[in-house]
Amino acid sequence: QVIHSVAMLTHIEIDDALLEQLFKLQAFPTKKAAVNTALAEYVNLLKRRRLLELKGKVPWHANLDQLRARRGK
């Protein structure tokens, strides 16, 4: 299986204060690394939020006690 990654050359204005905060919280070798990491973390946050929105909307038919008992084996 071959996975291709496409990098886009994009010029954007970045909030200097936010970027400074990011660099204070964690060391990054470059601004690009900092922005890419922040974007990846934000994507993960949005995915988690979508999963949480499903709470109570997906029917559950398994026996939780049995699943927990199997995990202990």
For the chain, give the percent of residues with pLDDT over 90. 60
Query: Under a CB-based contact definition with an 8 Å cutoff, are residues 35 and 14 in contact?
Result: yes
Which amino acid is residue 29, in one-letter code? P
Torsion of CA 18, 20, 22, 23, to 10 degrees: 170
Mean pLDDT of 7-26: 92
Which structure tokens are listed for 60? 């559950």
Please report the pLDDT score of residue 2 as a whole number. Answer: 64
Which structure tokens are listed for 5? 């990654």
Query: Under a CB-based contact definition with an 8 Å cutoff, are residues 15 and 26 in contact?
Result: no
- 36-68 pLDDT, tens digit per residue, is 999 999 999 999 999 999 988 988 888 889 889
Please report the pLDDT score of residue 28 as a whole number. Answer: 97
